[in-house]
Amino acid sequence: MAAGPGRGSLYATSRSSAVDELTQLAVAARRGDAQTMTAFIRAGQRQVWSLCAHLVDQESADDLTQETYLRVFRALPAFRQESSARTWLLSIARRACMDELRRRTRLRRQETLVLGLDGNEPATPGEAEQVEIRELLDHLPIERRDAFVLTQILGLSYEDAARTCDCPIGTIRSRVARARVDLIEALGLMPAGDAQDSERAAARTPPRRTR
């Protein structure tokens, strides 16, 4: 939801301050102080959980958040502030989510193979999708979902999202534009032909920066 009149600059300032605080806590937590580590976790935990819930599902978000912080503390001594702690933290959370989605894909393939060996018909893609349908975002390709969640839901800038996904900023812009069109088309608000035209136009238009 967009900020109301007069609130945009205040929101941006608050978010910037939070990012600075998180980076300071990350640097301090490298020394291994338990109290500082706890403060670091609390400062970023909500956004990590939200990213995991959107990229995978809410049922797995707690476990994935825990896995993220296990990875974070193993990697913390190598944190060099080349990006903000927020970007660094969310990139680790994203990798944890990708690993979980790849694990699920392998399990589905194994289950399909077992069904085939038992003489039963393997589940069709449509049946598998019906079992796993959670929310509208689940229909997006994972790269588009990443870019859309990071920029439109978590509020990262396109620059920070590009660092988190380790890709050019133009790629993030294109993925967000295509995700918007995918969602509009899925909701039945735009014919397929018009959606394709809108996708091409949106990908060519630089997004407005959030203040």
Q: Is position 14 within any domain?
A: no
Whether the model clears a pTM of 0.75, i.e. scores above it, the answer is no
For residues 40 and 210, the model is more confident at: 40
**Residue 42 lies inside a defined structural domain of this protein:** yes
What's the average model confidence in pLDDT over 132-155? 79
Residue 200 is predicted with a pLDDT of 52
CA proximity to 90, closest of 153, 143, 160, 42: 160
Query: 141 and 210 share a domain?
Result: yes
* pLDDT at 197 (0 to 100): 53
In a domain, 108, yes or no: no
Domain count for the chain: 2
- The CA distances from residue 183 to 38, 144, 187, 190, 199, in Å, are 38, 11, 6, 10, 11
Are 73 and 27 contained in the same domain?
Answer: yes
The b-or-e profile of 116-125 (16+ CB within 10 A means b, else e) is eeeeeebeee
Task: Return the pLDDT at 152.
Answer: 85
Average pLDDT over residues 9-28: 63
In tens, the pLDDT along 171-181 reads 999 999 998 88
**What pLDDT band is residue 135 in, cutting at 50, 70 and 90?**
low
CATH label of the domain that carries residue 89: 1.10.1740.10
Please check the confidence at residue 22 and state whether its pLDDT lies above 80.
yes
User: 140 and 95, same structural domain?
Assistant: no
Arithmetic mean of pLDDT, 113-139:
48
Residue 3 has pLDDT above 90, yes or no: no
Domain extent, residue 91, equals 22-103
What's the CATH number where 147 sits? 1.10.10.10
Q: What pLDDT shows up at residue 184?
A: 82
In a domain, 11, yes or no: no
- Whether 171 is in a domain gets the answer yes
